[in-house]
Structure 1
Amino acid sequence: MGGCVGRYWEGWDDTQSRGSSRNGGRGGRNEPLKKDRPKWKSDYPMTEGQLRSKRDEFWDTAPAFEGRKEIWDALKAAAVALECNDHELAQAIVDGASITLPHGTLTECYDELGNRYQLPVYCLAPPVNLISERSDEDPSDSPEPPVAPKKEFQLKVRLSTGKDLRLSASMADTIGQLKKQLQAQEDIDIAHQRWFFSGKLLTDKTRLQDTKIQKDFVIQVIVNPQALRAPKPSSTTTTTSE
């Protein structure tokens, strides 16, 4: 079992290439792990998800063939470390598992019992024609929602002090803008305001159109008690009796 290295570089779809083979003649040759990662091109443009699936399939099935599971685990950890550019860690893993590298790469290696292990190229480096996938969670990749036309209405706001009031707002306004308006009207510092709607905390960048608020709905504002300033004392005139 094991196949030749030449077949490995062509993709190694044969299941025999996944295993290891008994080879008592390593010749005692052991090269340090090279830093250079192999460069290869997939037969078809491959996405990051497809590459991960292909790797997972190999690592899940490799221990089922000949060889020792602890060595397969060490090779996987070394391959991950090498791809993360942590060459020292990869070398330490290889040395700690007593793995011999005749060519200084993980493409062909041996354990101390003489078993040969071969890793497919896709487990060691991504292809040059890898297709990057956009993350759905990356806000920079997602287009901003269209801004609603600026049509003002009276927004009902209920403070945690029990006071109700109305603010002039439009659906395009952000919560941060409305906080400033509340500060100007009630002298409540922005840092001491927490706005909630339907039990959800509203961030400063949230627009009213994103909250799906409708006419006559009320937004709750929790006010930090420290923000409630004491009323300023009125100035009094002291008269001096003659």
Structure 2
Amino acid sequence: MIDNRQPDQPQPLVSHLTELRTRLLRCVAAIFLIFAGLFSFAQQIYTLVSAPLRDHLPANATMIATDVASPFLTPFKLTMIVSVFLAIPFILQQIWGFIAPGLYRQEKRIAIALLVSSIVLFYAGMAFAYFLVFPLMFSFFAAATPAGVAMMTDIANYLDFVMTLFFAFGVAFEIPVAVVLLVWIGVVDVQYLKKVRPYVVIGCFVVGMLLTPPDIFSQTLLAVPMWLLFEAGVLCASLVRKRNEVACIG
């Protein structure tokens, strides 16, 4: 059997820890560099993120700030979160640089595909939430506001709300990567995943109920994509498994 491992020399524990510290510092530096570039646009970034709600506010209604420092701290907090999100490709690249020397060539090919897919799917989940889920959800909330009640949302509460949904949809869109990874490392097989499909569908709707506001629209808009992404993950896992079997036979 041919060893496909790269000819990297074993390193002592101290060297690994030193490299890990260096890569962590690079990640922190990248986040702060992005933050420094975005800080002057903090107000505009918050305006962009709050647009889905403001577009559905009643006439003459505005968002409010109930805390004295909220007009400054809330855009500041949002800009820091955006900096972390934008730095994710670099952070994952640093993680990859740390673990790659210990992988075989075949493992590296699959791992790179999973890494790139995880980045794309995470951003796709956030875009799905912003462009589709938020407009429908806030339109529903605005229409459901009782008569005599002014819909005037606090900017800090809104930020916490949408960041939770951004993260929920971003993580939910990672389902295909998680499915392929579980099959690849041998935790489950494709036949088992097909067998538990009905339970997965129910679980998707339960997760949608827990992670989204109590309205059927946003719950369905999270549950249905999760189920479809699970099916895509099963299909990709089947292809990966067949490719590995062919490679082993060869």
Q: TM-score range by the shorter chain?
A: under 0.3
Judging by fraction of residues, say which structure has more helix: 2
- Decide which structure has the larger Cα Rg and report it: 1
> Relative contact order: is structure 1 or structure 2 higher (C-alpha 8 Å, sep ≥ 6)?
2
Judging by fraction of residues, say which structure has more strand: 1
TM-score (norm 2): 0.22
TM-score (norm 1): 0.22
